[in-house]
Amino acid sequence: MKKIGLGIIFLLGIMGSQLIHADPAVSSEKHSDYILNTELPQDFRERMAWWKEARFGIFVHWGLYSSAEGEWDGEVYTGGVEWIQKRAGVSPDVYEKTMLPKFKPAPDFASQWARLAKQAGAGYVVFTSKHHEGFSMNDSSQTTFDAKDVTGRDLHKEIVEAIRRENLGVGVYHSLWDWHHPDAPAGEGATSVKGLTMEGRELSRYVKYLHAQVNEVTDGRYGPVDILWLDYSKNQFQGEAWGAKELVALVRKNQPSILINNRLWNNEVKSQDEYKKYWLGDFSTPEQHIPATGIKGIDWETCDTLNGTWGWSKHAKVFKTSTELVHRLVDAVSKGGNYLLNIGPLPDGTVDPVTVQRMSDLGKWMQINGEAIYNTTASPFTKLPWGRATSKIMGDGTHRIYLHVFDWPENGQLFVPGLESFPLRSLLVGGNVNQIIYTQNENGKMIIKGLPKSPIHSAATVIALDFSEKPTVAPYRVYSSTDGSFTLEPADAVVEGKVSFKDHGLGRRSRLEGWGEKGKASYLLQLEEAATYDLEISIAVNKLGASDSFFITVGDEKATIPLEKTGGNKKWKTISCGSIRLPKGATVLQLHCAEKMEKKPVALSTITLKSVSSDE
């Protein structure tokens, strides 16, 4: 797996076109290098419909690398252990000689994958038929470096048939790279094992091999394929370097309804309008992060790990909790995306007990609340202080909002900020067969009353609100969470002048950076009562100039931010900024850069306000 940058995503929202269906990851090469998009928008929507209804899929990373279990020659590698051949600098011949004897798949392992995915409530499974190491799970006529030649079993066939038995969509991951093939990209600009070069290699021979292998897994011998998940492009190795036009035409001929992700191209883009007419993938693929505000006008899917690595490692013992997984699933769907959760099976293909438990826990939540995930669209709210929301239009034309409450109110009342329409009815999903609860409009505020003291599910309890027409939601303001505190994220800010918002990515937090003199970030708050708050802010400072000066204001109130070096622009530290008084009602908190005369990297992230006293 590889991080795909998000700068291009925001650009698409500006460009906007019915003909662009995914992240247009293109470089400055001539237009003829890209594929003309001739598909009608309606045809595209029909192809994508089942995937958008499913909303949740399971990713499976399993291959020879799984048998290394995260270490090579006694050295432990953390994170991304499916890359262990490259990271340990192992030549193809040594890797093959070492790993093939260890590869001993258990009988019927694939059925366990499919059952777990079904149990978790997923609608499809994407599995690694071939990763960067070059080992193919299918019976390939192009190589003997495949499962059939090594084990006597066509593991691709076993996996596909197991997935179909559970009536799940079939997704095939196929690497564009191959560290085993003698003509695959190597050397400068390539992702390859250290020491290899292009000397004596012929890229065209590898591209022919790549196309032949993709044909084998999509030509129908394994039945219908719903998703082809290609991974990934870098530098000059993108687009026509992979023979993209011919490859896409081949796959579309084999599987007319198939979905293909965006990774045939790199993550650079030109802003000219003429790029609107080119096909650059069916959906975008942010990795291990959920875009702060979703991706406007784009179909997207966040792929995410359970424990920080894609392939199995016996050293990766810190797993996301079941509550975290529910929250991440809901978060992605509430922003209009899909959630593709990865599992990394053990060397023999079976699944470890912690992963089994996480799948079971997700399934228990989905059994109650799946209706609030499947076939839903993004939340009408920009942000909610206690959770998330999803939407759908019911069969009778009713507009339904599902409120996913992460922080359950102890007083039995839930304020829904910004909701200006009164619902026809309100239901507690899973509560005594979707029991009716009560809503009340108090001074223009929507309050749900009579909630039980304890939530139905500790991770997220769902409340459904039904409306006769599309409900009205007021422009976004930040409200306090259930404990009275405020957490202001960079995405909440409206920026002016010399400062920019950077969304979080793989290994990077969301942040405000590129500060210059008079740069400003404004946060629109709504307070139920006036109060004094302690201020804290997360900073990352590599070098600190003598003239660097930042402060926070609310009206005439002012608090200085005492900057200090943290050891790098990825080294975050939370510092105290004293206290500040906020008035009742609508107010604006502003973060200012008074002076920034020297070009030193300063990044500011989350601002936390904790109430210490109230005026009432």
**Which sign does the torsion angle of CA 488, 79, 307, 371 carry?**
positive
Q: What is the pLDDT of residues 391-439, one digit of tens each?
A: 999 999 999 999 999 999 989 999 999 999 999 999 999 877 667 787 8
pLDDT at position 544, please? 73
Q: What is the pLDDT of residues 605-615, one digit of tens each?
A: 999 999 987 66
| Percent of the chain as helix, strand, coil, to the nearest 5 | 25, 30, 45
pLDDT above 70 for 552: yes
Tell which residue, 460, 503, 124, has the closest CA to residue 294: 503
pLDDT above 50 for 17: no
Strand partners, 573: 539
pLDDT-based confidence at 28, cuts 50/70/90?
very low
Q: Any idea which of 202-211, 351-360, 368-377, 509-518 has the lowest mean pLDDT?
A: 509-518
Q: What is the pLDDT of residues 275-306, one digit of tens each?
A: 678 898 999 999 999 999 999 888 999 999 99
pLDDT at position 472, please? 95
Residue 430 neighbours by CB distance under 10 Å: 19
**Which sign does the torsion angle of CA 267, 272, 278, 279 carry?**
positive
pLDDT-based confidence at 561, cuts 50/70/90?
confident
Q: Report the alpha-carbon angle 379-384-388, nearest 5.
A: 50
Tell which residue, 176, 178, 180, has the closest CA to residue 98: 180
User: Which of the pair, 487 or 12, is modelled with greater confidence?
Assistant: 487
pLDDT above 90 for 123: yes
pLDDT at position 213, please? 98
The counts of H helices and E strands in the chain are 11, 31
pLDDT at position 198, please? 94
Q: Where are the beta strands (DSSP E) in 242-364?
A: 259-260, 278-279, 301-304, 338-343
Query: Which of 111-120, 442-451, 496-505 is the most confident on average?
Result: 111-120
Q: What is the dihedral of CA 143, 145, 151, 155, to 10 degrees?
A: -80
Q: Any idea which of 211-220, 265-274, 349-358, 458-467 has the lowest mean pLDDT?
A: 265-274
pLDDT at position 433, please? 63
Tell which residue, 493, 489, 494, 492, has the closest CA to residue 509: 489
CA Rg value for the chain: 26
pLDDT above 90 for 596: no
pLDDT at position 199, please? 95
> Which domains does the chain possess?
7-372 (3.20.20.80), 387-475 (2.60.40.1180), 486-614 (2.60.120.260)
User: Which of the pair, 504 or 267, is modelled with greater confidence?
Assistant: 504
User: Which of the pair, 519 or 254, is modelled with greater confidence?
Assistant: 254
Task: State how far the Cα of 357 lies from the Cα of 178, in Å rounded to an integer.
Answer: 34
Phi, psi of 481 (to 5 degrees): -75, 180
User: Before 232, cis peptide (omega within 30)?
Assistant: yes
484: left (phi over 0), alpha (psi -120 to 50) or beta: left
b/e sequence 276-308, b meaning 16+ C-beta within 10 Å: eebbbbbbbbbbbbbbbbbbebbbbbbbbbbbb
The whole-model pTM stands at: 0.91
Q: What is the pLDDT of residues 53-73, one digit of tens each?
A: 999 999 999 999 999 999 999
pLDDT above 70 for 268: no
What is the three-class DSSP state of 356?
helix
Mean pLDDT (the chain) is 90
Q: What is the mean pLDDT of residues 317-335?
A: 98
Share of residues in the chain with pLDDT > 90 (%): 74
What is the three-class DSSP state of 329?
helix
Q: What is the mean pLDDT of residues 367-389?
A: 96
Q: What is the pLDDT of residues 229-244, one digit of tens each?
A: 999 999 999 999 999 9
Task: State how far the Cα of 588 lies from the Cα of 569, in Å rounded to an integer.
Answer: 28
User: Which of the pair, 562 or 222, is modelled with greater confidence?
Assistant: 222
pLDDT at position 2, please? 45
pLDDT above 50 for 346: yes
